[in-house]
A and B are shown apart, each in its own frame.
Chain A
């Protein structure tokens, strides 16, 4: 099963770009990478997902390396409200159906 690894914590200055890395070196060709974030005591919130190409939406950009072994979530102008735990998730498809594999998450602290 594809596993993900993320740094446990990061700091970012308000207004600057936050770049959150994720390693998924065992990912296979048809597995998607998802990013979610979780603010304390709430359920995870969807941010973005991708397969091979870079993706952008109103919240963030997702950069996936050509070999797909790692990806980076970019919050272009971090605000204090972006302080949260960010999870990189690989969607694993196996004979038993679909399984969601979570990384340990990165606690992002946006500082004024």
Chain B
């Protein structure tokens, strides 16, 4: 089975901390995505990447950056976490006609 693995399921971080959310997929997919999900707002695209070292801004990139040094890994970085970044973060990868999602990372910034 294809797996999209998000390394941290639940995190609590302090305001101003640098936060890394890691996502790994094991099927050599080119396209990977980071979304955040908030009540009443559905899933909103933060960044996506269509190849190693390539990245594109999604709908809400402010306050985030990403890294794609290897094809299997797509990292979301919060340079200085803020309370309004408390959310559930979903990673997805895509190839052909199939989209695969991770289980989500619940981040609380206090």
Contacts and interface: CB of A to CB of B under 8 A. Distances in A.
A34 B43 CA distance: 15
Contact of A46 (B42, B50, B99): B99
Interface stretch (A36-44, A65-73, A74-82): A36-44
Interface of A (DSSP majority class): strand
Contacts, number: 59
B22 interface: no
Interface in B43-98: 43-45, 48, 50-51, 54, 56, 58, 88, 90, 92, 94, 97-98
Interface of B (DSSP majority class): strand
Contacts of B106: 41
Interface residues of B, number: 28
A32 to B, nearest CB: 7
Nearest to A45: B101
B47 to A, nearest CB: 11
Interface residues of A, number: 22
Given A43-B103, A44-B101, A96-B50, 15 more contacts: A32-B97, A41-B88, A42-B103, A46-B98, A49-B97, A87-B42, A91-B99, A97-B51, A97-B54, A98-B50, A99-B33, A99-B56, A101-B45, A102-B43, A104-B41
